[in-house]
Structures are given as structure tokens and as C-alpha cells.
């Protein structure tokens, strides 16, 4: 009976360690991808602003279209 309780406690400890490790890995993954998402959002906003500027210039210069280098 004592041996059975020891195995149960050992199993619970192993499960807790695995859960804690998985939680740490998921948190690290979330932090990493949040930074990447913020960078992507900033690039996208910059690109949209650039394209809007190109469209405005083409309208003001009464051109059919203007080459956009965004």
C-alpha cells in the first residue's frame, strides 16, 4: 500500500512538472509571436499609408495610374 501511494505521488509530481514545462513553452511562444504580430501590423500600416499617398498623388496629378513602390 505504501509503495502504491509513493508511485501515485511520483506520477502526480511528474504530471505537474510536465504541465509547468508546457505552460512555460506556451507563454514563450505567445510572447514571441506577439512581437512578430506587432511588427507585421506596423509594416502593414506603413504600406497602406504609402499606397494611399500614391493614389492621392495620381488623383492630384490627374494621371490614370502611378507606379507605387510600396
Q: What is the mean pLDDT of each run of 10 residues along the chain (70 residues)?
A: 83 87 87 76 76 73 63
69 assigned to some structural domain: no
Give the domain range for residue 13.
1-62
**pTM attached to this predicted model:** 0.46
The answer to the question of residue 28 being in a domain is yes
Is residue 34 classed as helix, strand or coil in its secondary structure? Answer: helix
Query: What span, in angstroms and rounded, lies between the C-alpha atoms of 21 and 27?
Result: 10
- Give the count of domains, the chain: 1
Asked if residue 37 is part of any domain, the answer here is yes
Please give the pLDDT value at position 69. 61
pLDDT of residue 30: 82
List of residues 6+ apart from 65 with CB closer than 8 A = 58
Task: Say if 67 falls within a structural domain.
Answer: no
Does some domain include residue 35?
A: yes
Per-residue model confidence (pLDDT) at position 63 = 62
Query: Is 18 within the bounds of a domain?
Result: yes
Query: Is residue 19 a part of any domain in this protein?
Result: yes
Is residue 47 domain-resident?
yes
Amino acid at each position: 500500500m505504501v509503495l502504491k501511494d509513493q508511485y501515485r505521488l511520483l506520477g502526480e509530481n511528474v504530471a505537474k512538472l510536465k504541465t509547468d514545462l508546457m505552460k512555460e513553452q506556451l507563454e514563450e511562444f505567445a510572447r514571441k509571436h506577439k512581437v512578430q504580430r506587432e511588427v507585421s501590423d506596423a509594416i502593414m500600416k506603413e504600406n497602406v499609408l504609402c499606397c494611399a499617398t500614391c493614389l492621392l498623388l495620381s488623383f492630384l496629378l490627374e494621371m490614370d495610374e502611378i507606379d507605387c513602390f510600396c
